Amino acid sequence: MITEEMVNADMRLLQLLSRSYPTAEAASTEIINLKAILNLPKGTEHFMADIHGEHEAFLHILRNASGNIKRKVRELYDDKLSREEIRELCTLIYYPEKKLEIIKASEENLTEFYSTTLTRLIPVCREVSAKYTRSRVRKALPKEYAYVIEELLHESRNDESKQAYWDAILQGIVETGQSDSFIIAICYVIQQLSVDQLHILGDVFDRGPGAHIIMDHLLGYHNFDFQWGNHDALWMGAAAGNNACIANVLRLSLRFGNMATLEEGYGINLLPLATFAMDTYKDDPCTLFRPRLDAKSATLSEKQKRLVAQMHKAITILQFKLEGQLIDQRPEWGMKERRVLERIDFAQGTYGYEGNTYPLLDTNFPTIQPEHPYELTAEEKDLVEKLHHSFRISAKLQKHIQCLLQHGCMYAICNSNLLFHASVPMNADGTLREVELQGKRLSGRALMHQIGMTIRAAFNTDTPRPARQFAIDYFWYLWCGKDSPLFDKSKMTTFERYFIADKKTHVEEKGHYYLMRDNARVCDYILDAFGVEGEHRHIINGHVPVHVAQGENPIKADGRLMVIDGGFAEPYHTTTGIAGYTLVYHSRGFELIQHEPFTSTKDAVLQGTDIKSSKQIVEMTGNRIMVRDTDKGRVLGEQIKELQELLYAYRHGIIK
Report CA 143 to chain centroid distance, whole Å: 29
Average pLDDT over residues 393-415: 97
Q: Tell me the pairing of strands 538-541 and 561-563.
A: parallel
The pLDDT assigned to 481 comes to 95
The pLDDT assigned to 264 comes to 93
What does 102-113 look like in DSSP terms, one character per residue?
HHHHH-S-HHHH
**Residue 374's pLDDT band (boundaries 50, 70, 90)?**
very high
- Are 141 and 150 in contact, with CB atoms under 8 Å apart? yes
- Are 97 and 184 in contact, with CB atoms under 8 Å apart? yes
Cα torsion 555, 561, 562, 563 to 10°: value is: -100
Q: Tell me the pairing of strands 435-437 and 417-420.
A: unpaired
Burial class of residue 378 in the structure, from the number of CB atoms within 10 Å of its CB (0-12 exposed, 13-18 middle, 19+ buried) = exposed
Residue type, 221: Y
Q: Nearest 5°: CA angle at 27, between 21 and 32?
A: 140
Q: Please state, as a whole number, how many other Cβ atoms lie within 10 Å of the Cβ of residue 532.
A: 19
The pLDDT assigned to 156 comes to 65
Q: In terms of Cα–Cα distance, which of 75, 53, 63 is closest to 582?
A: 63
Return the percentage of the chain with pLDDT > 90, whole number.
67
How many residues in total does the chain contain? 656
State the chain's mean pLDDT as an integer: 91
Is the model's pLDDT at 282 over the cut of 90?
yes
Average pLDDT over residues 196-213: 92
Q: In terms of Cα–Cα distance, which of 75, 72, 76, 54 is closest to 64?
A: 72
Domain boundaries of the chain, sorted by first residue? 4-40+631-651, 45-201+542-625, 241-391
Residues 6+ apart with CB under 8 A from 9: none
* HSE value, Cβ hemisphere, 13 Å, CA-based, for 285: 4
Report CA 209 to chain centroid distance, whole Å: 15
- Are 319 and 248 in contact, with CB atoms under 8 Å apart? yes
Q: Read off the pLDDT of residues 78-106 as tens digits, 9 standing for 90 and up.
A: 989 999 999 999 999 999 999 999 988 88
The pLDDT assigned to 141 comes to 85
DSSP element (H, E) containing 352:
strand 350-353
How many Å apart are CA 56 and CA 294, to the nearest integer? Answer: 15
Residue 555 β-bridge partners? 562
How many Å apart are CA 447 and CA 445, to the nearest integer? Answer: 5
Residue 419 β-bridge partners? 412, 540
The pLDDT assigned to 392 comes to 97
CA distances in angstroms from 321 to 341, 342, 387, listed in the order given = 8, 10, 15
Average pLDDT over residues 292-304: 72
Q: In terms of Cα–Cα distance, which of 493, 539, 500 is closest to 516?
A: 539
Residue type, 241: G
Q: Where are the beta strands (DSSP E) in 564-655?
A: 581-586, 589-595, 613-620
Q: Read off the pLDDT of residues 215-238 as tens digits, 9 standing for 90 and up.
A: 999 999 989 999 999 999 999 999
> By mean pLDDT, which of 189-203, 337-351, 540-554, 597-611 is the weakest?
597-611
How many Å apart are CA 451 and CA 409, to the nearest integer? Answer: 9
Q: Read off the pLDDT of residues 455-501 as tens digits, 9 standing for 90 and up.
A: 999 999 999 999 999 999 999 999 999 999 999 999 999 999 999 99
What's the distance, Cα to Cα, between the start and end of the chain in Å? 21
Q: 130 or 371: which carries more pLDDT confidence?
A: 371
**Residue 109's pLDDT band (boundaries 50, 70, 90)?**
confident
State the DSSP code for 500: -
Q: In terms of Cα–Cα distance, which of 317, 261, 263, 259 is closest to 288?
A: 317
Dihedral pair phi/psi, residue 323, rounded to 5°: -65, -40
- Are 435 and 425 in contact, with CB atoms under 8 Å apart? yes
How many Å apart are CA 563 and CA 540, to the nearest integer? Answer: 6
The pLDDT assigned to 66 comes to 87
Return the percentage of the chain with pLDDT > 70, whole number.
97
Q: In terms of Cα–Cα distance, which of 325, 285, 338, 324 is closest to 308?
A: 285
Average pLDDT over residues 118-134: 89
How many Å apart are CA 377 and CA 452, to the nearest integer? Answer: 36
Is the model's pLDDT at 297 over the cut of 60?
no
Cα torsion 62, 67, 73, 75 to 10°: value is: -150
Average pLDDT over residues 169-194: 89
- Are 209 and 600 in contact, with CB atoms under 8 Å apart? no
Mapping DSSP to helix (H, G, I), strand (E, B) and coil, where does residue 420 land? strand
CA distances in angstroms from 171 to 125, 151, 401, listed in the order given = 19, 14, 46
**Residue 142's pLDDT band (boundaries 50, 70, 90)?**
confident
Average pLDDT over residues 127-146: 85
Q: Please state, as a whole number, how many other Cβ atoms lie within 10 Å of the Cβ of residue 491.
A: 16
Average pLDDT over residues 408-420: 96
How many Å apart are CA 593 and CA 575, to the nearest integer? Answer: 18
Give, to the nearest 10 degrees, the angle between helix 179-194 and helix 160-175: 120
The pLDDT assigned to 411 comes to 97
The pLDDT assigned to 582 comes to 87
Tell me the pTM: 0.92
CA distances in angstroms from 476 to 439, 482, 491, listed in the order given = 18, 11, 13
> By mean pLDDT, which of 286-295, 342-351, 404-413, 529-538 is the weakest?
286-295
The pLDDT assigned to 159 comes to 64
Is the model's pLDDT at 182 over the cut of 80?
yes
- Are 190 and 124 in contact, with CB atoms under 8 Å apart? yes
The pLDDT assigned to 108 comes to 82
**Residue 5's pLDDT band (boundaries 50, 70, 90)?**
confident
Q: Read off the pLDDT of residues 587-640 as tens digits, 9 standing for 90 and up.
A: 888 988 888 777 778 887 877 777 777 777 788 887 899 999 999 999 999 999
**Residue 434's pLDDT band (boundaries 50, 70, 90)?**
very high
Give start and end residues of each alpha helix (H) in 54-130. Answer: 55-64, 68-77, 83-94, 96-106, 110-128
State the DSSP code for 259: -
Q: 364 or 112: which carries more pLDDT confidence?
A: 364
Q: In terms of Cα–Cα distance, which of 560, 563, 559 is closest to 545?
A: 563
How many Å apart are CA 641 and CA 10, to the nearest integer? Answer: 11
Residue type, 291: P
How many Å apart are CA 598 and CA 556, to the nearest integer? Answer: 27
- Are 619 and 652 in contact, with CB atoms under 8 Å apart? no
Q: Tell me the pairing of strands 356-359 and 350-353.
A: antiparallel
How many Å apart are CA 192 and CA 47, to the nearest integer? Answer: 15
Is the model's pLDDT at 399 over the cut of 70?
yes
How many Å apart are CA 633 and CA 638, to the nearest integer? Answer: 9
Q: Please state, as a whole number, how many other Cβ atoms lie within 10 Å of the Cβ of residue 88.
A: 17
How many Å apart are CA 265 and CA 259, to the nearest integer? Answer: 9
